[in-house]
Copies of this chain bind each other. A is one copy, B any other.
Amino acid sequence: MEFIQSKQNQRIKDWRKLQTSKGRRKTQQYIIEGQHLIEEALRSQVNLLTILVTQKFLEQVTNQPVFKQQLMASGIEMIEVTNEIMASLTMTETSQGVLAIVGMNPLGQVSQKLNGDYYLLCDSIQDPGNLGTMIRTADAAGFDGVLIGEGCVDLYNDKVIRSTQGSLWHLPLIQENNSTLMTYIADRQLPVYATALHQEAKSYRNLAGQKGVLVLGNEAKGVSSNWLKFADEKIYIPMPGRAESLNVAVAAGILMFAWSEESKML
């Protein structure tokens, strides 16, 4: 196994650029951290290019013959690096001593024509934890894909990836500008339900069992006017308590599981 000791090594310097959205876009690569995500990536046939490990991780992994065997059998390039290099590449405070460089799959290529019945649309979701959690929940609810509209945080941000817990590899993620997404939706003739304020909207409970696209909007501003105009119906979640609003990922979960429950499972 190759061993890199210098932080000035050219490959290390190149990989460090993957910490920015610009660097990721340019090279079409991103970083995933930790054993759990790498296991999930191996299962999901993701394009893993290189795995970097520290001495300490190599010692620990000897106690995990299954994972070690998976790594070895994968044939993926493995490189040992110093703790200092690992720390310079990771975004988490307490690194497990293992990360991987991943090649992006061409986003959305799989299904430029939407071919499912249930989609979540994220409109200007700014918090990486929220976007990642929404993708994870859409996966859990059995949705057919997540449409990522304008104004969202970079999908390959490390916190987004961590929050998806690997779900980003389980269902189509289609990131396009809003007008392209609207064309896809119109082609498929899917009804669009946008979350909105109480006064102007129907309770989501009246809509269970409908196929369509569920639009959730920005944490502070809600769904943008473009999507509100495009929507066939505006829906809201009745809240008997005193809170003014719900966290957007929680709201998405309540809505997706209400739909899923009625329409797919009963």
Q: Which residues of A contact B (CB under 8 A)?
A: 129, 133, 136-143, 163, 165-167, 170-171, 205, 237-247, 249-254, 257, 260-261, 264-265
Contact = CB atoms under 8 A, between A and B. Distances in A.
A250 B170 CA distance: 19
B141 A239 contact: yes
Contacts of A261: 205, 238
Contacts of A260: 240
B250 A139 contact: no
A241 B170 contact: yes
Contact of A254 (B129, B142, B167, B253): B253
A240 B129 contact: no
Contacts of A253: 246-247, 250-251, 253-254
A254 B205 CA distance: 13
Contacts of A249: 247, 249-250
A53 B243 CA distance: 26
A142 B257 contact: no
A257 B241 contact: no
A237 B250 contact: no
A247 B142 contact: no
A128 B264 CA distance: 33
A239 B142 CA distance: 7
A240 B265 contact: yes
Contacts of A243: 136-137, 139-140, 165-167, 170
A242 B250 CA distance: 19
Contact of A139 (B136, B170, B241): B241
Q: Which of A163, A249, A254 counts the most chain B CB atoms within 10 A? A: A254
A133 B247 contact: yes
Q: Which of A171, A247, A252 counts the most chain B CB atoms within 10 A? A: A247
A242 B44 CA distance: 11
Contacts of A265: 238, 240
Contacts of A129: 129
19 contacts: A137-B250, A138-B241, A139-B241, A140-B240, A140-B243, A140-B246, A141-B239, A141-B241, A166-B243, A167-B243, A171-B242, A237-B257, A238-B261, A238-B265, A240-B264, A246-B253, A250-B250, A250-B252, A250-B253
Contacts of A264: 240
